[in-house]
Structure formats: structure tokens, C-alpha cells
A and B are shown apart, each in its own frame.
Chain A
Amino acid sequence: MRTDGELILLWTLPVLGIIWLSVFLLFPGFVHPMSPTMSAEEVAAFYRDPGNLSRIRYSMIVFNWFAVGLIPFLALIVMQIRRMAHRTPIFSYSMIACAAGGPTIFLLADLFWLLAAFRPERDPQLIQLFNDLAWVTFASQVGFLIAQSVILALAIFLDRQERPVFRPWVAHFNLVVAVLLIPAAFVGLAMEGPIAWDGLLSFWVRNIAVGVWIVVMGVVLGQAIERQRAEDEAMAT
């Protein structure tokens, strides 16, 4: 099988990383994350502010294009799970299910943000409702991200061959990331503090964990694909 195409998909990852980082910086509600304590009037004023409105719209339009951009990368992980010494395709199937579910959630949050920004002159209560739906969807729905890390870790632990596809530390790293994502699920419980959707654990730790996961997995996946190519070439000669 030709793996050139896999290299192309892999190199979409740094491009995607730059785009996601740009969206993060462009959206005015992220760098100083919007507080859940803002009143309906304050939320409406935030969306109505001409300085904010175009930045909200442009950043979320870009995010609408690229929210699902991680799927090819997850598909590459599926390809590596298939090379592991398993007896059933259950882990690769599970990863495909995560690839279908997780990005859809990001897309849904994006829709709520764009809806809030579409007619900011609407009743402030409605703007606040869309804003709440967007933030709670974005922050609390960590289930598929946790699942993909745990499934990958399990798949690595059960990959019992002389030269496993990923080394055991990748499994441990994935479990640590999964644990760091857990507090974000509780955003509904606090308006202030580390658990609130703008808080240290739910916003910063979680988003940085996702960012670090993408970088680390990008590197180890790149190494695995390179090794696979070298092995294929050695077999061919």
C-alpha cells in the first residue's frame, strides 16, 4: 500500500494547528474567556460591540470550515491501530466512532456561536441562551476526547508484539490527557473558579491538554508512519 497519501494527511496537522490557534486568538471570547457570570445585557453588548462582532463571525466561520479537520488525523491513528497485534477490529472501529462523534460536537458549538452573532439585536435573553449553549457544548462535551485517549491507551497495552506500533509511554501519556479533560465536564456546577467554563481547569488546562495531545500524537504518529515506510521498503527490496 502506498503511504504517500498518509504523509500528506499527516502534514495537514500543522496547518490545522495554525488555523485553530488563529481562530483561538481571533475570537474575542477566548483569550480572556467570557465569564458565565455575565448578565444577559452584558452578553448581548459583547456581541453587539462592532469591534467584537466581525471577529466573532470571521473566527467562527473559519472554525466551521476546520472544526472537523482533525478527522483525517484520527483516521491515521485508526490505520496504526489496525497494524497492532489485535485479534479483532474493535479498537479501530471504536476510534472511527470517536472520529465521527467528537468533531460533530465542536461543529455544534460553532453553530450556536454563529447563531448568537447572526442577529445580535435579538432579545438579550436569547443571545445569552445561544451563548450558554455554545459554551456548555464546547466545554462540557469531553466524552469522545476522553474515549479516544483511553481506547488508544488500551489498544497500545494490548499490542503485544516484539516491536509494538507505539511505545508504552504513549499509552500513559494518553491516560494523563484523559484525566486532565475530566474537570471540564462539570462546567454547569460553577459560575466562577477553576471549574467554571472560563476557569483554570475547564478552559486552560483542558484546551492546553488537547493542544499538547495534538502535537505529541502528531510527532509519534509521524515516526510510526516513517517506520512503516522504511519496513515496507526493506520488504520490497
Chain B
Amino acid sequence: MIRKIAWHRRYDEKRELWIGWWTLVVFYNLYGLLFFVIARTQPPPPPSLEPSEIVQWFADRRSGLLYGYAIISIVGGATAIMNATLAYTMRRMSVSRAFAYSYLVIYALATLPGMLIMGVVCTVGAMRPDRDPALMSWLYDFAFLSFEGTMGVFLIGSLIWMGAVLLDRNRVFPKWFGYLNLCNALTEVVVAPAWIYKRGVFAWDGVIAWWINMAVFVTYTTVFLTLLRKMIMREDSGTGPLPELDPDRAPEPGGTLEAAR
């Protein structure tokens, strides 16, 4: 009983962090569902489609695009709390606040070219199927190139996180995660030819620009969600090195769900 009360106090102190963590987990899954299953804009269609095929592409998934991106418009602001939680990990490190601030601002503005503009453009494309095919083709390019071709924000953002992890002496994240950030940053470099090639491995639907990048991104996201969960369990709300997790005092797995509410 005393243990339970102690445990409750424990997880209660971390409720802000658990809200952040659960927001990340729920929304990454939701975004996957919306982009891959409902709107069906991922995996991306080829850039080489003719305007008449593009009109057909919009027609085939009209309601998926309209409903899918409407839901993204509603929940897209959740990225604010997600990025704030990740920025907090840098506050917990023994590095300047400038790292957390840079990460927060970069990812806040990344939401527009990286996700929301695609929603607006796909909605505009889907709402008038009888629009001139030449304009539909322009909307198609705008949507996919804004989504796939927005690189710098994620490049610089990952490098900032990498720098913070490598400099940190509070052992918030293991050093190898710093280098995994570099892998994520490199995917933003190799996607650049998508702005030039319409076919092949470098095109926006190609093996390099899309498939490898998506594999790295999914690995990276899974890894940082796992590491973030461990970090929250070890968090002591102090300023020095983060303590190692004591297996006896670790919260039961079911507790985290309760804490998120």
C-alpha cells in the first residue's frame, strides 16, 4: 500500500512528461494511419504521371484526401506538445538552452512546409475534380515536393539534437543516439535530387529518396520514443546527471497509461 502511494506520487510528478510521451506515440501512429491508409498519399505516387492521370489520382482518393487532411488540420497542432517534449530532453542535458530553443523553433515552423501545406494543397485539388488538368498537375507537384522536399528544417534540427546528445554529461541519452541523429540528417541530404529527377531511385517515390529514408525515419522514431520513455522513468527533476533506473522502483508498465490521463 505504501509502495503504491509512493509510486503514485512518483508518476504524478512526471505527468507532464508522460502527457508529452503519449502524445508522441498516439500521434505518430495516427499520422501513419492518415497518410498511408486514409489519404493514401504515402507511399507516394510517381512524379512522372501525365496530367490526365493526376486528375484520376485525385478522383480515386477524393474522400480519403478530404477527410484525412481535415483530421490532420484538427490534430496537427499536437506537434507543438510533441516538439516541446523533445526540446525538454535537451533542457535536461548539460548543454546551453540554445539547443532546446533552436530545436523547438525549427520544428515548429517545419510543420507548415513539412505537413500542413500538403493538406491544404491536396484539399484544394480534391475539392474541384473538374479543374484544368495542367493546374491539377501543379497542385500535385506542390503537394509532394513541399512534403518530401522540405529538408533543411529536419537536417538542422537533427544535427542540433545530435550536438546536444554528444556534448551532454548528464547521460540523458546514450552517445550512439547522437550518431543515429546523423543518419536521420543524412536522409535529408540524399532526398535533394527529388527536386531534379522525375524517375528512378532519386525521384520522390524512389528507393533512395523515399524507401530508405522512410526506413531510417521509422527506426529513428522508434528508437527515440523508447529512449524517451526510459529517460522519463529515470527523471528525478534535478539538474545533475540523470540517475540510472533502479529496477525495484521502476513503475509498472500499466502505470504509464494511467499517468497519461
- The residues of A with any CB-CB pair to B shorter than 8 Å are 36, 86-91, 93-98, 100-102, 104-105, 108, 125-126, 129, 132-133, 136-137, 140-148, 150-151, 154, 158, 182, 185-189, 191
Contact = CB atoms under 8 A, between A and B. Distances in A.
A36 B128 CA distance: 10
Contact of A147 (B63, B65, B81, B104): B81
Complex A-B, nearest 4 residue pairs according to Cβ-Cβ distance, in ascending order: A147-B77, A143-B76, A93-B84, A97-B80
B15 A158 contact: yes
B124 A136 contact: yes
Contacts of B13: 87
Q: Which of A90, A133, A142, A147 has the most CB of B within 10 A?
A: A90
Contacts of A137: 120
B119 to A, nearest CB: 7
Given A140-B123, A142-B74, A90 B17 contact: yes
Contacts of A186: 66-67, 70
25 contacts: A36-B127, A86-B16, A87-B14, A87-B16, A88-B88, A89-B91, A90-B17, A96-B105, A97-B79, A97-B81, A100-B109, A129-B124, A133-B120, A133-B124, A136-B127, A137-B120, A140-B69, A140-B70, A140-B73, A141-B76, A143-B75, A144-B77, A145-B77, A146-B74, A158-B15
Nearest to B92: A88
B210 interface: no
B132 interface: yes
Contacts of B135: 125-126, 129
B120 A97 contact: no
Nearest to A98: B80
Contact of A90 (B16, B108, B112, B139): B16
B19 to A, nearest CB: 7
B223 to A, nearest CB: 21
A191 B129 CA distance: 13
Contact of B77 (A36, A125, A136, A143): A143
A88 B83 CA distance: 14
A185 B70 contact: yes
Nearest to B65: A188
A129 B109 CA distance: 25
B70 A101 contact: no
Nearest to A142: B73
Interface residues of B, number: 53
A36 B104 CA distance: 37
A188 B123 contact: yes
B78 interface: yes
B98 interface: no
B199 interface: no
B74 A104 contact: no
B71 interface: yes
Contacts of A158: 15-16
Interface of B: 13-17, 19-20, 63, 65-67, 69-81, 83-85, 87-88, 91, 100, 104-105, 107-109, 111-112, 116-117, 119-121, 123-124, 126-128, 131-132, 135, 139, 237
Given A97-B107, A147-B78, A188 B70 contact: yes
A189 B70 contact: yes
Contacts of A86: 16
B171 to A, nearest CB: 18
Given A100-B105, A129-B124, A147 B71 contact: no
Given A89-B88, A132-B128, A189 B77 contact: no
A182 B77 CA distance: 12
A189 B122 CA distance: 12
Contact of B120 (A87, A94, A104, A141): A141
Contacts of B75: 143, 146
A97 B84 CA distance: 7
B248 to A, nearest CB: 23
B92 to A, nearest CB: 9
Given A90-B16, A129-B135, A188-B70, A136 B123 contact: yes
B138 to A, nearest CB: 8
Contacts of B71: 185
A111 B75 CA distance: 24
